[in-house]
Amino acid sequence: MTSRREAVRDVLVQSEGFRSAQDIYAELRAGGAKIGLTTVYRALQSLADAGQVDVLRTDDGESVYRACATGTHHHHLVCRRCGHTVEVAGPAVERWAEAVGAEHGFTSITHTVEVFGTCGSCASVASAG
Amino acid sequence: MTSRREAVRDVLVQSEGFRSAQDIYAELRAGGAKIGLTTVYRALQSLADAGQVDVLRTDDGESVYRACATGTHHHHLVCRRCGHTVEVAGPAVERWAEAVGAEHGFTSITHTVEVFGTCGSCASVASAG
DNA sequence: GGCAGAATGAAAACCGTTGTCAAAACCGCC
DNA sequence: GGCGGTTTTGACAACGGTTTTCATTCTGCC
Ligand SMILES: [Mn+2]
Ligand SMILES: [Mn+2]
Ligand SMILES: [Zn+2]
Ligand SMILES: [Zn+2]
């Protein structure tokens, strides 16, 4: 684990939600770190390969990364306003995916599941404003 | 509905699975149609806006489109080998998404769910070969 | 035919990401 | 401390899917 890689991971660990490579790069540079964008991308890739961060793609095609607390299979509930993210487990949805695949003769089933919404604090800010 | 837009939609209607813009463009050109890539993109965008086609993003960042039979909310079971796609409804997963959101104080819940696997015919081809 | 507005498409711009490659940092060894 | 080698780094260029631009063509209407 090199120092740059560690710096990238630290940003993610201290982040509440998903962050983009460019976002992380900007934060590191703003904090005085000497690091290149290419290195941020490489660090994220190796962290993702090692299973230490989760990746997902936003609607506009940007990859975003998060250091999740759980190493086990889980999904995300993401506030579409502030990005606040909670990790959720879902035995029900796991079973459903397997069942629906089997029902149509599919094997080696995998799935992607993400849930979006407005979190409690964003909702109260909106109603107060 | 202009003739180009109709041509684009026709390709999708006769397709089994999701297709990319460039893919559709290539097929139309191969069939002798006089159409530009820009127009294919525009047609797909307006069809998507009108809710006549579903869009999803592949892992490598390409947008792919499909003219689904159902106008109502559904998800997809996609063969990762041949692209064969079946539309699946899932009351269980709908309820789960709502519940998990509410449980954490989130409102205006939406979700994305896609299931991938190897379809029956691809599995038999693989085992025969 | 003549006209206004919409549609079209070739080419350029855009943007996140990846490849290139020379310089810098690191490491074990003497 | 000095020396070879390996690895890491980052400025820059290239890539690929998508969008924007803008001049031309088509369309419906009189
Ligand atoms: Mn799951
Ligand atoms: Mn659903
Ligand atoms: Zn929020
Ligand atoms: Zn298949």
Ordered mean pLDDT values, 10 residues apiece, chain A (129 residues): 95 97 98 98 97 94 96 96 95 96 98 97 86
* Residues of B in Cβ contact (< 8 Å) with A21: none
Rounded to whole angstroms, what are the CA distances from A77 to A33, A111, B3, B22, B99?
Answer: 31, 16, 42, 33, 11
pLDDT at A46: 97
CATH fold, domain A1-68, is Arc Repressor Mutant, subunit A (1.10.10)
Does residue A65 contact residue A21 with C-beta atoms inside 8 Å? yes
**Whole-structure pTM over 0.75, yes or no?**
yes
Q: Residue B117: is its pLDDT beyond 80?
A: yes
pLDDT in tens, B23-81: 999 999 999 999 999 999 999 999 999 999 999 999 999 999 999 999 999 999 999 99
- The superfamily CATH assigns to domain A70-129 is Ferric-uptake regulator, C-terminal dimerisarion domain (3.30.1490.190)
Q: Tell me what the pLDDT averaged over chain B comes to.
A: 95
Domain boundaries, given as residue ranges, for chain A: 1-68, 70-129
Q: Residue B129: is its pLDDT beyond 70?
A: no
Rounded to a whole number, what is the distance in angstroms from the first to the last CA of chain B?
Answer: 46
B59 touches strand D (CB under 7 A): no
Interface test with B, best of A16, A113, A119 (most B CBs within 10 A): A113
